Amino acid sequence: MRSVAIRFGQMLLVLWAVATLLFFLFRLMPGDPTLAYIDTTFTAEQQEALKRQFGLDRSLFEQYIAYFSNVFHGEFGTSFRSKRPVFDIIFEVLPNTLALTALSITIAYVFGVLVGAWLAWKRGSVAEALGIPLVLTLRAAPEFWLGMVLLAVFAFGLGWFPSGGANSAGMTYGSTLERMTSADFLHHLILPAATLALYLQGLPLLLMRSNMLDVLQEDYVMMARMKGLPEWRILLLHAARNALLPVVTAFALGLGASVGGNVVVETVFSWPGLGRVLVDAVAGSDYPLAQGAFMFIALILIVMNFVADLLYSVLDPRVAHG
Amino acid sequence: MSTPAEGKRRRRFPSLMRALRLPENDPLAMIGVAIYVVFLLVALFADVLASDPLEILFLDDGNLAANVPPSLAFPLGTTNLGRDIYSQLIVGTRAAFVVGLTAAIAVVAVGTLVGLLAGYFGGWVDNVLMRLADIALGIPFLPFVIVLAAFLGAQTQNVVLAITVLLWPNTARVIRSQVLTLRERGFVEAARVAGSSDWRIIRVHIAPNILPLSLLYGSIAIGWAILTEASISFLGFGPSGSVSWGAMLQDAYASQALSRGSYNWFVPPGLCIVLVVVAGFFISRGYEEVLFPKLKD
């Protein structure tokens, strides 16, 4: 329990540090610091209100305090381009990013775990000799390039899938849920999800394989062999269960990192998600939106790092005491 | 011919010498070394192998040589603005190596130093350094590089700086745990009892033993750095006007090379990135677990 509290404290420290870094990062940009929140196209009243809310006419220290109190209340200011609250824009695209990430990482880990265990079992075979370099090669491929190749072949060449976006133009839906369960949405989701899954599968696969190889050396596996249990039972019930533990941790880490890493895949497929919002906002000098999107991506990453840390010590009690 | 001084140095760094030997009995690692050597030669002799990658070319009939399919004159065809893709590919090797090597050296230098200090001194030094590592790992990688490149300017050194700031913790954590075990070994204890200073113990007894691990991390970091640079260039935050594989891919993507099916334009730069990055993976393959430091520290 005590170690959980310490880890939680460490997470808060990291959150505070990253938020502080962000505060100063967005004051590094060229020009007047009020530019971080105020655009000249805003009305005079809007400008006044934002100045007051973010303390822009006061000292840097007071701005820093105002920044934190605003972050706590989910106030990230108003987007320069769309003139809407940053929070609303982020919440609009967040489901798209989560759907893309969750689907692709699930496919990647199920595939990776199964194939990794199989390759460990096939140690020394032709399948291993060819499989490992292939997996490493896929892992070395830039995500956006994989996406480009898939786009050229399956969207432009064969015409099986749409070339971008999350929904066809002109479609209207009653709710987000209705939109995201429509066949049209899934049709748009397949290529970007496949790209991400191809990229992500290498880590669980290699991890599962090397864990399996370790576990198969353990005494209890030897014991099971001596008892004369069938090989598949040993693999599934004795070895795979334990080899899975680090993969579960990797899944949590991967989920957190992937939300930020989706940036390029979302850009290639014009997928309206958090990463693409960030890229567009930075490119278009929409500072409040860029800041808000960055903060959300960081929040998800840090919380998932914390979850991974906890999972690791829960699943493998030796760590907590190590 | 080896002078006495060289002989002495060789004895002092036995593990380093072992790590630098060609991995002759591992075919994949040999393939990796071969890939590195070929690309390094291409980068060195790029001027001889290619013509000006940004020159706008014209056909014999005076028309712009736009989107010409591969031919003898243009081995990989031309871009929509009439530039030679083959030349861009060759010259792009340089950008890849400049970013890859400088970032890898910086990452490994910072990571090794931090890992050494944290592992050897322990206590509050360790605590502070490892909390810094936590913070660096809590910063979303690509978003940070994008914002930094956008605010500080899209020069290569800013991309390298961003990569260094975020990637050193992985190396530092592994080096630290290695130092933790070395610190308890007999020869370190013996040196301490014999009155060696901390710095001497680190320099003479510990550093040489962790250098192979650092080199290994360097070969992986080269790959990550090249991938990152390519992603940044693709997103349009790379150094403008420079010729790199990432910039080529961005150019191809923005110029509708995908819908035209100009595979000759966007496949080669991607394959080059894959080859250089996978070479690093192949070389370090023997140390598979090292690829996943977060999970094993």
Predicted pLDDT of residue B106 = 92
Give per-residue pLDDT as tens, A311-320: 877 766 555 4
Q: Return the SS3 of B73.
A: coil
Given an 8 Å threshold on Cβ–Cβ distance, is B237 in contact with A294? no
Given an 8 Å threshold on Cβ–Cβ distance, is B143 in contact with A293? yes
Between A and B, how many CB-CB pairs are < 8 A?
163
Q: Whole-model pTM?
A: 0.82
Please name the member of A14, A151, A260 whose beta carbon is closest to the beta carbon of B140: A260
Please name the member of B231, B258, B292 whose beta carbon is closest to the beta carbon of A148: B258
Q: Is A306 on the interface with B (CB under 8 A)?
A: no
Residue at token pair 């970013």: B99
How many separate helices (H) and strands (E) can be counted in chain A?
15, 0
Q: Determine which helix (DSSP H) or strand (DSSP E) holds A272, and give its type and residue range.
A: none
Predicted pLDDT of residue A32 = 61
Residue at token pair 């500080």: B152
Best residue in B262, B295, B296 to probe A by mutation, most A CBs within 10 Å? B295
Compute the half-sphere exposure of residue B111: CA atoms within 13 Å on the CB side of its CA.
32
Query: How far apart (Å, rounded) are the C-alpha atoms in residues B106 and B86?
Result: 31
Given an 8 Å threshold on Cβ–Cβ distance, is B134 in contact with A13? yes
Query: How far apart (Å, rounded) are the C-alpha atoms in residues B226 and B279?
Result: 12
Given an 8 Å threshold on Cβ–Cβ distance, is A156 in contact with B258? yes
| Domains parsed from chain B with CATH numbers | 47-69+85-296 (1.10.3720.10)
Predicted pLDDT of residue B16 = 57
Q: Which residues, in sequence order, are CB contacts of A270 under 8 Å at separation 6+? A: A164, A165, A276
Residues (pLDDT < 70) of chain A are 1-2, 28-37, 40, 52, 54-57, 168-174, 178, 261, 315-322
Predicted pLDDT of residue B297 = 32
CATH architecture entry for A94-321: Orthogonal Bundle (1.10)
Is the ipTM higher than 0.95? The answer is: no
Alpha helices (H) in A55-180, listed in sequence order: 60-72, 86-121, 126-140, 143-150, 176-180
Within 141-200 of A, beta carbons closer than 8 Å to B belong to 141-145, 148-149, 151-152, 155-157, 163
Contacting residues of B for A148, CB less than 8 Å apart: 249, 252-253, 258, 266, 270
Predicted pLDDT of residue B19 = 57
Contacting residues of B for A278, CB less than 8 Å apart: 143, 146
Residue at token pair 């976006």: A165
Predicted pLDDT of residue A312 = 74
Predicted pLDDT of residue B22 = 59
The ranges assigned to domains in chain A are 2-72, 94-321
Chain B: residue whose CA lies nearest to A305: B138
Residues (pLDDT < 70) of chain B are 1-25, 50, 55, 57-60, 62, 64-66, 68, 72-74, 76, 82, 285-297
- At B64, give phi and psi (nearest 5°): -60, 135
Burial of A4 (0-12, 13-18, 19+ CB in 10 A): middle
- Size of chain B in residues: 297
